């Protein structure tokens, strides 16, 4: 098998000079590169939540969008034919990494629920200097692959010995390039993904530090930046809430958004109002300053799970993982744990309630449908026409139209006599008037 060679970094400098720009990196260690794009839909035939990175490289963006479109089109064709009461679900989440300020890696995780659940991993590695996609053959020789295969076999035999005693495991762990085609380059390791029904029935992951392949690959470990935790505990300011006056809770899902959340916080601060922001755990580290600001200015942060999957389709262990991972992600930034949880799509059952472990499950009573209309005027009119004392109002800090609607609504709701409080404050001061879906 012929091995394509990567030009060494020193020679690259000679060929391209010093004009190669630094790749803009994010603070999120699992979403190091790219601007996060999100799509949300609750259709008659299905629900979907799609997240993906938009990079500075058109080829990478094109491939990402083509992959998502291909999977989604196939999913919709099947979803519209289903007759079951449970809605099919299409969910895409991602991880992105940059290595040596040159290689961009993206992992897309496709999670589909039709008649049964299915997870698929797609990966791509892009060389920003050669403007081309790379395969495992560009990084590992056949000798290195032989060692990698041996390490994989040893690792899984140690951790899942019974599952390794079958032909499929032996076939798909062998030293063949196609078996190791799904991978990403992190700063300290190559991470390999094995699709369902190859090594095992579900997706398997193996992380190989570059030191293990020393002398067999040109890649080496980089220093991983560490996030300095806050030393001070963030405390909410004292508020003057009148239990005798009407109040509503504005809530914003799926953020934080670097583009729009700050504008909403500005308006809340200007008019001395508060809101609850139901944050995705996978997004939290993208804008830690916004989460810190939420707490410092008297707003509330809620748990919206880690990857926006419909919790009623998951096992108890997976539900607990979605919730716990988000709790820890938010605590690491704000030094506070959320006390309220909003399940994606408001989907809940007895198992979800059990997994909440004493935290309040919160849905809503007034749906602005801002994700669907994307029209500031319609959103504002819908709220002002329907709002009542004790309402929990559902919005999303993902869209410009939603942010503009919130900026208009905040003073107008106060003019109508409503105090703008957090969900927890609404339950504390108006427990008998809280309106729920």
Positions marked catalytic:
253, 396
In the block, which residue shows the tokens 């820890």?
328
Distance CA 380, CA 283 (A): 27
* CA R_g for the chain: 24
Residue 201 — φ and ψ, nearest 5°?
-70, -25
Cα–Cα distance for residue pair 217/211, rounded to 1 Å:
10
Structure token pair of residue 430: 């108006």
Q: Can you say whether the dihedral through the CA atoms of 193, 58, 19, 259 is positive or negative?
A: negative
- Biggest alpha carbon distance in the chain? 78
* Those residues with Cβ within 8 angstroms of residue 325's Cβ, 6 or more apart along the chain or in another chain: 281, 306
Cis peptide before 57 (omega within 30 of 0): no
Instruction: Count how many Cα atoms sit within 13 Å of the Cα of residue 398 in the half-sphere of its side chain.
Output: 26
Q: Burial of 223 by CB count in 10 Å (0-12 exposed, 13-18 middle, 19+ buried)?
A: exposed
From residue 169, alpha-carbon distances to 19, 152, 177, 179, 195 in Å are 47, 11, 15, 11, 12
Take residue 73 and report the two structure tokens written for it: 């089109």
Tokens of 134: 């790379």
Burial 106-136 (b: 16+ CB within 10 A, else e): bbbbbbbbbeeeeeebbbbbbbbbeeeebeb
DSSP-derived pairing of the beta strands 89-99 and 360-361: unpaired
Contact 301, 336 (CB under 8 A): yes
Q: Do the beta carbons of residue 287 and residue 258 sit within 8 Å? A: yes
């Amino acid at each position: 098998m012929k091995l394509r060679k990567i030009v060494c970094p020193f020679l690259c400098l000679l060929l391209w000079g010093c004009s190669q720009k630094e790749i803009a990196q994010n603070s999120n260690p699992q979403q190091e590169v790219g601007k996060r794009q999100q799509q949300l839909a609750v259709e008659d035939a299905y629900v979907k939540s799609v997240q993906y990175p938009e990079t500075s490289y058109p080829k990478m963006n094109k491939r990402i969008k083509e992959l998502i479109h291909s999977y989604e089109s196939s999913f919709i064709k099947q979803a519209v034919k289903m007759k079951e009461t449970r809605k099919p679900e299409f969910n895409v989440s991602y991880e992105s990494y940059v290595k040596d300020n040159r290689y961009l890696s993206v992992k897309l995780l496709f999670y589909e629920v039709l008649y049964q659940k299915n997870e698929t991993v797609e990966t791509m590695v892009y060389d920003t200097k050669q403007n081309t996609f790379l395969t495992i053959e560009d990084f590992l020789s056949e000798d290195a692959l032989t060692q990698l295969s041996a390490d994989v076999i040893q690792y899984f035999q140690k951790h899942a010995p019974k599952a390794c005693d079958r032909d499929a495991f032996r076939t798909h762990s062998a030293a063949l390039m196609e078996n190791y085609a799904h991978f990403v380059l992190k700063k300290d390791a190559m991470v390999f993904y094995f699709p369902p029904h190859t090594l095992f029935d579900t997706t398997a992951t193996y992380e190989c530090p570059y030191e293990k392949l020393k002398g067999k690959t040109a890649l080496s470990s980089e220093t991983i930046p560490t996030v300095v935790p806050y030393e001070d505990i963030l405390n909410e300011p004292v508020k003057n809430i009148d239990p005798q006056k009407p109040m509503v809770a504005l809530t914003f899902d799926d953020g934080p958004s670097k583009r729009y959340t700050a504008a909403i916080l500005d308006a809340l601060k200007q008019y001395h109002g508060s809101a609850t922001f139901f944050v995705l755990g996978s997004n939290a580290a993208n804008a830690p300053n916004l989460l810190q600001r939420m707490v410092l200015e008297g707003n509330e942060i809620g748990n919206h799970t880690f990857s926006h999957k419909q919790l009623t389709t998951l096992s108890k262990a997976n539900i607990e993982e979605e919730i716990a991972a988000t709790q820890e992600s938010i605590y690491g930034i704000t030094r506070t744990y959320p006390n309220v949880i909003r399940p994606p799509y408001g989907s809940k059952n007895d198992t979800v309630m059990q997994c909440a472990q004493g935290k309040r499950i919160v849905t809503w009573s007034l749906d602005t449908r801002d994700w669907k209309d994307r029209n500031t005027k319609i959103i504002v009119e819908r709220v002002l026409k329907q709002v009542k004392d004790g309402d929990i109002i559902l919005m999303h800090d993902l869209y410009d139209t939603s942010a503009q609607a919130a900026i208009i609504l905040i003073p107008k709701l106060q003019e109508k006599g409503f105090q703008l409080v957090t969900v927890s404050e609404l339950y504390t001061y108006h427990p008998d008037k809280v309106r729920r879906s």
